[in-house]
Amino acid sequence: MRKAHCSRIWSRGALFIALMLLGGARASAQMQAGAGASAQTPGAGRGAVIESANGPNAASQRAKPYVVLVSLDGFRYDYVKKYSAPNIAAMAARGASAPDGMIPAYPSVTFPNHLTLITGLYPEHHGIVANIFYDPARKQRYAYSDSAAVQDGSWYSGVPLWSLAEQNGMRSACYFWPGSEAEIAGKRPSYYLKFDPLVPNDQRIEQVLAWLRLPEAQRPHFITLYMAEVDGAGHEYGPDSPETATAVKFVDAEIGKLIAGLDALHLPVDLIVVADHGMETTRGNWINLDQFADLSHFKTEGPLMYAPNEAEAAKAFQSLKGASDKFTVYRRADVPAELHYNSNEREGDPVVIATGPYPIRAHTPAPGEPDRPPAVGQHGYDPRLLPTMKALFVATGPDIRAGVTVAPFENVNVYPLIAKILGLPAGKIDGDVNVLQIILKSPSKN
Ligand code: AMP
Ligand code: ZN
Ligand code: ZN
């Protein structure tokens, strides 16, 4: 519900099908040519790695393990069982998993949650409170599709894991991750790329493996990898569709290739596969908040409302209060504490929280303005009200205990887990290292 579905040349579904075909085409081209792991790919011209001049790994870091953190966008926690995902299921059996899911931060959308995973902070503390939002103090808009904004480090707070690694003389690399294109906390990953959804997953995996084949001095110890197909299918066709089942099998096969490649390296690599959020079938047509309240003087982004002054905020709150059973409205300061969504101006005021999978936006499009129906599947909702927002979590490797399952936990706790594996000093964060302690073999490497 958080996304303004603005000008998209590709529909999500078309994009995910294209990506799967591209990946498949490459795989068969490789098989025919008998190509090795370092072969060039049909994504040629795409996937240019940017290197930062961060220097070699410090001597003290070289004996540390490696962590590969993979995000499968929109991979709902129950897809492993609902659809067949044998490679991820095998990972869960060999390692640790959260069978009832990992709890995303609110709002359960891509940018806020990737930043939460990578900083250990709730969105209102790392600053990326939605995929698209307005900052009343800066008088500027942040949008995940605006490359100038995503590359501008001044939007972000906290210390991403790659910056924490680099601050400690440990090399890091990102094959895509929200925030990875910006300088944050004074650092950039040693290796990263500009986001390009058309790079085939096989090419992304080959690059991750190539990074791990670098000489020890240059070899990154912390690596991120991102794949979007499951989210695309979930939006276009819904979480219960055959297309989503196909996308789940497709990314599961990619995870299988990654595992095979990692095994062949004989390095101590811990592999952690997560999602940012789940997916739910939307119900009903758009709910336009301006049908209940006069928002003509507000700035708005999707469902977010930024009042010109306190009087207008109070008036809109009164108009929206009790107006529909499909949402609850709060003055920002009164949003329930467990949502951690009440202290940042970027969240707007008042704040509307959907009570079910309802598509909500502030404005009715003007007559003649292009509009589109809500997506079949959507996320962004409160995971406490909609458990289908919960995300995948599975981990394996030399530091992870075998066959451990954990109850649902908040994704702010992934950061201290990874910092602990890498023996890096996590500073003041919202996550707690004790929450996932149980999945680690040895208590501490610090
Ligand atoms: P959402 O619907 O919130 O799950 O957003 C998913 C979309 O975010 C994907 O389909 C991508 O197009 C986009 N996305 C993911 N990672 C990035 C990134 N690093 N930079 C820009 N856009 C991204
Ligand atoms: Zn997402
Ligand atoms: Zn999505």
Q: How confident is the model at residue 21 (pLDDT cuts 50, 70, 90)?
A: low
Average pLDDT over residues 223-248: 98
Q: Is the pLDDT of residue 23 over 90?
A: no
Q: What is the pLDDT of residue 442?
A: 78
CB 228 less than 6 A from any atom of ligand 1? yes
For the chain, what is the mean pLDDT?
92
| Residue nearest to ligand 1 atom 17, measured at CA | 178
Going from the Cα of 276 to the center of ligand 3, the distance in angstroms, rounded, reads 9
Going from the Cα of 208 to the center of ligand 2, the distance in angstroms, rounded, reads 21
Residue 122 CA to residue 106 CA, distance in Å, equals 8
Going from the Cα of 370 to the center of ligand 2, the distance in angstroms, rounded, reads 24
Average pLDDT over residues 41-56: 84
Contact 262, 330 (CB under 8 A): no
Q: What is the pLDDT of residue 129?
A: 99
Q: What is the pLDDT of residue 14?
A: 60
Q: Give span(s): CATH 3.40.720.10, the chain.
A: 4-281+385-439
Q: Is the pLDDT of residue 39 over 50?
A: no
Q: Is the pLDDT of residue 211 over 70?
A: yes
The rounded percent of the chain whose pLDDT value lies above 70 is 89
Q: Kindly list the distances between the CA atom of residue 268 and the CA atoms of 92, 166, 370, 416, in Å, as whole numbers in the listed order.
A: 18, 20, 52, 19
| Residue nearest to ligand 1 atom 19, measured at CA | 178
Q: Which fold has domain 287-374?
A: Gyrase A; domain 2 (3.30.1360)
Q: What is the pLDDT of residue 90?
A: 98
Average pLDDT over residues 275-290: 98
CB 302 less than 6 A from any atom of ligand 1? no
CB 71 less than 6 A from any atom of ligand 1? no
* Of the listed ranges 13-22, 101-110, 182-191, 350-359, the one predicted with least confidence: 13-22
Q: What is the pLDDT of residues 326-363, one digit of tens each?
A: 999 999 999 999 999 999 999 999 999 999 999 999 99
Give the helix/strand (H/E) hosting 147.
helix 147-150
Q: Is the pLDDT of residue 392 over 50?
A: yes
Concatenating the DSSP letter of every residue in 23-92 gives HHHHHHHHHHHT--TT---TTTT--PPEE----SPPGGGTTS-EEEEEEETT-BTTHHHHTT-HHHHHHH
Proportion of the chain in helix, strand, coil states, percent, rounded to 5: 35, 15, 50
Q: Give span(s): CATH 3.30.1360.180, the chain.
A: 287-374
Structure tokens at 96: 């640790």
Q: Quick one: which atom of ligand 1 is closest to the CA of 15?
A: 10
Q: Which fold has domain 4-281+385-439?
A: Alkaline Phosphatase, subunit A (3.40.720)
Residue 193 CA to residue 68 CA, distance in Å, equals 16
Active site residues: 110
Q: What is the pLDDT of residues 398-415, one digit of tens each?
A: 999 999 999 999 999 999
* Cis peptide bond N-terminal to 350, omega within 30: yes
Q: What is the pLDDT of residue 18?
A: 61
Using only C-alpha atoms, the chain has a radius of gyration, in whole angstroms, of 21
Query: Which residue from 1, 3, 69, 111 has its CB within 8 A of the most atoms of ligand 1, so it is best to mutate?
Result: 111
Q: Kindly list the distances between the CA atom of residue 173 and the CA atoms of 49, 185, 191, in Å, as whole numbers in the listed order.
A: 10, 16, 5
Q: How confident is the model at residue 17 (pLDDT cuts 50, 70, 90)?
A: low
Q: Is the pLDDT of residue 324 over 90?
A: yes
CB 131 less than 6 A from any atom of ligand 1? yes
Q: What is the pLDDT of residue 45?
A: 80
Q: Is the pLDDT of residue 121 over 70?
A: yes
Going from the Cα of 374 to the center of ligand 3, the distance in angstroms, rounded, reads 13
Going from the Cα of 138 to the center of ligand 1, the distance in angstroms, rounded, reads 24
Going from the Cα of 110 to the center of ligand 1, the distance in angstroms, rounded, reads 6
CB 375 less than 6 A from any atom of ligand 1? no
Query: Which residue from 2, 12, 19, 144 has its CB within 8 A of the most atoms of ligand 1, so it is best to mutate?
Result: 144
Say which ligand is closest to the CA of 279. 3
Average pLDDT over residues 210-226: 98
Q: Is the pLDDT of residue 180 over 80?
A: yes
CB 279 less than 6 A from any atom of ligand 1? no
Q: Is the pLDDT of residue 170 over 70?
A: yes
Q: Quick one: which atom of ligand 1 is closest to the CA of 231?
A: 4
Average pLDDT over residues 368-382: 96
Residue 236 CA to residue 42 CA, distance in Å, equals 26
CB 197 less than 6 A from any atom of ligand 1? yes
CB 153 less than 6 A from any atom of ligand 1? no
Residue 396 CA to residue 169 CA, distance in Å, equals 25
Say which ligand is closest to the CA of 377. 3
Q: Is the pLDDT of residue 27 over 60?
A: no
pLDDT higher at 44 or 217: 217
Q: Quick one: which of 427, 384, 377 has its CA closest to 408?
A: 384
Q: What is the pLDDT of residue 230?
A: 98
Q: Quick one: which atom of ligand 1 is closest to the CA of 276?
A: 4
Q: What is the pLDDT of residue 12?
A: 56
